[in-house]
Amino acid sequence: MSTHSKQKRLTTASIRAMKGNERVVCLTAYTTPIARLLDPHCDLLLVGDSLGMVLYGMETTVGVTLDMMAAHGRAVMRGVSHACVIVDLPFGSYQESKEQAFRNAVRLMQETGCDGVKLEGGEEMAETIAFLTARGVPVFAHVGLMPQLVNTAGGFRSLGHSEEEAVKIRRDALAVDEAGAFAVVVEGTVEPVARDITASLRVPTIGIGASPACDGQVLVSDDMLGLFNDFKPRFVKRFAELSPLVSQAAQTYAEEVRSGQFPAKEHTFQPKR
């Protein structure tokens, strides 16, 4: 558990101050029960637009809406008392203009009570990040592999293998740092590049498929818990294997219902005498 646990709830300033002092523990959360379970152990909970794929079976995150993010953001906030909570701005809700980004970020913060928003993009989003932070909206930046750009990037793949890619990711990371982001996700980036970025930024880097040298790590909680049988990215470590347990529980339940074993007398309400 984090040494910050005696505080009421961590803030974006708390996360920023962990740079060079303590590794940031981050997981995704989409529902109240999971948020309650993860909250005591995490510094940062991310209501990621990954919920589109994890909860709704979408192929990518592109179809996620602002309404979906607001609903799940509210759900997660009901389950936290310790962690800082950040909600993703979904695809199309911030790229048009910095004013659009501000309106939608404010909506998410007002409707959910979250501590800030996350958006994807480097140099091209620096002006927007500066605009938001100057107006009281903390921004969690995201560089490297950007899932919202999957349609133009040609799919999900690691980046930084060529010098051109490496230079771009470094420039993106420096730009969002200078623009005022309180932390930066570095995703799907070859280890040496992610290590160099971490050393060069003033704010924490949160790695996912990046480097152990990052200032913190994030995983999709359902990946970490082993709730998927069919897909395991290289960068995921399963800290539990819940999928077979859920399947076995459902099988046992079905067998007991069909045999009449469940419900037993102790599971029913009897007339009071």
What's the CATH number where 190 sits?
3.20.20.60
The tokens for 154 are 């040609």
Q: Per-residue pLDDT for 230 more than 80?
A: no
Q: Is residue 250 part of a domain?
A: no
pLDDT of residue 234: 78
- The residues near 20 (Cβ < 8 Å, ≥ 6 apart) are 215
Q: Is residue 258 part of a domain?
A: no
Would you call 242 exposed, middle or buried from its count of C-beta atoms within 10 A (0-12, 13-18, 19+)? Answer: middle
Q: Would you say 2 is a known binding-site residue?
A: no
Q: Is residue 175 part of a domain?
A: yes
Q: Would you say 88 is a known binding-site residue?
A: yes
Query: What rounded mean pLDDT belongs to the chain?
Result: 93
Q: Is residue 184 part of a domain?
A: yes
Q: Is residue 34 part of a domain?
A: yes
Q: Is residue 268 part of a domain?
A: no
- What would the DSSP string read from start to end of 172-233? HHHHHHHHT-SEEEEESB-HHHHHHHHHH-SS-EEEESS-TTSSEEEE-HHHHTT--SS---
Q: Check if 187 is active-site.
A: yes
Q: Is residue 68 part of a domain?
A: yes
Domain extent, residue 20, equals 12-241
Q: Per-residue pLDDT for 5 more than 50?
A: no
pTM of the model: 0.93
Q: Would you say 118 is a known binding-site residue?
A: yes
Q: Which of 22, 127, 163, 187 is catalytic?
A: 187
Measured CA distances, 261 to 253, 254, 257, 265, 267 (Å): 9, 10, 6, 10, 11
Q: Per-residue pLDDT for 147 more than 90?
A: no
pLDDT of residue 151: 55
Q: Would you say 211 is a known binding-site residue?
A: no
Q: Would you say 19 is a known binding-site residue?
A: no
Q: Is residue 263 part of a domain?
A: no
How many distinct structural domains can be found in the chain?
A: 1
Mark residue 120 as left, alpha or beta (left: phi above 0; alpha: psi -120 to 50; beta: remaining).
beta
- Give the tens place of pLDDT for each residue, 148-182: 876 555 555 677 789 999 999 999 999 999 999 99
